Structure formats: C-alpha cells, structure tokens
C-alpha cells in the first residue's frame, strides 16, 4: 500500500496537483476538523464507491491512518482501484505537524 506523508500532501496541494481527497471518518469527526474533499464513512464505501475517482490520485484520510488503510485494502482488492494513497498518520498528523491551529481529538 502506498502512503503519502502530510508534508508531501501539503506540497502537492500547494502545487494544485489534481487529486481527490477521500475522508473515511464519521460525519461527527469530519465536523471537528477536515481537509475538505469527499466524506464517505468507511461503512458506506460499498454503496458510495462510485464517487471515488480512478483518473487522479486519491488520498484516503482518517484519524490516524488505520481506517484509511482498511478502505484502501477493500477498494484495491474488491474493486480494482490502483490510484490510492494512504495519508500516513491521518488528520491527526496534519493537525500536529502542518496546521497546529486545527482541532485535535
């Protein structure tokens, strides 16, 4: 499974690289803090997979990187996705290393 660090994501976002951000946390978590992008909770991936792009890199985000890894395993093994990157350390790493004004939980 390919990973991307929060610093690498920050650089890509700064260069306006085409990508999709996919947050697999729950709506309550997304409300606390987020990087934008598509919110598809892990439990809804099966029903909403059609919203996930195949033509650009997709960075999958959760709290610490575990649920996003589960999502990537499912999407690659069951649905054949090949363009997914796991955000190493999740939104927590972003909040502690990149944007220290972001809420943490």
Contact 58, 45 (CB under 8 A): no
The catalytically annotated residue of 6, 58, 59, 62 is: 62
Query: Taking all residues of the chain, what is their mean pLDDT, rounded to a whole number?
Result: 97
Count of other CB atoms within 10 angstroms of residue 15: 7
| Sole residue written with tokens 């499974």 | 1
Residue 102 lies in a domain: no
Domain residue limits at 72: 3-97
Which of 61, 56, 63, 57 is closest to 71 using CA atoms?
61
80: domain CATH number? 3.40.250.10
Is 33 in the active site?
no
Domain total for the chain?
1
Does 79 reside within a domain?
A: yes
pLDDT, tens digit (0-9, with 9 covering 90-100), for 13-56: 999 999 999 999 999 999 999 999 999 999 999 999 999 999 99
């Amino acid at each position: 499974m390919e990973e991307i660090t929060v610093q690498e994501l920050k650089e890509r976002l700064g260069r306006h690289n085409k990508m999709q951000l996919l947050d697999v946390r729950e709506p309550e978590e997304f409300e606390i803090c987020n990087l934008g992008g598509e919110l598809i909770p892990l439990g809804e991936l099966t029903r909403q997979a059609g919203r996930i792009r195949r033509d650009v890199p997709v960075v999958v985000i959760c709290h610490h990187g575990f649920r996003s890894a589960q999502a990537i395993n499912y999407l690659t093994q069951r649905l054949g996705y090949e363009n997914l990157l796991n955000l190493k350390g999740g939104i927590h790493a972003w909040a502690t290393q990149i944007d220290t004004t972001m809420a943490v939980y």
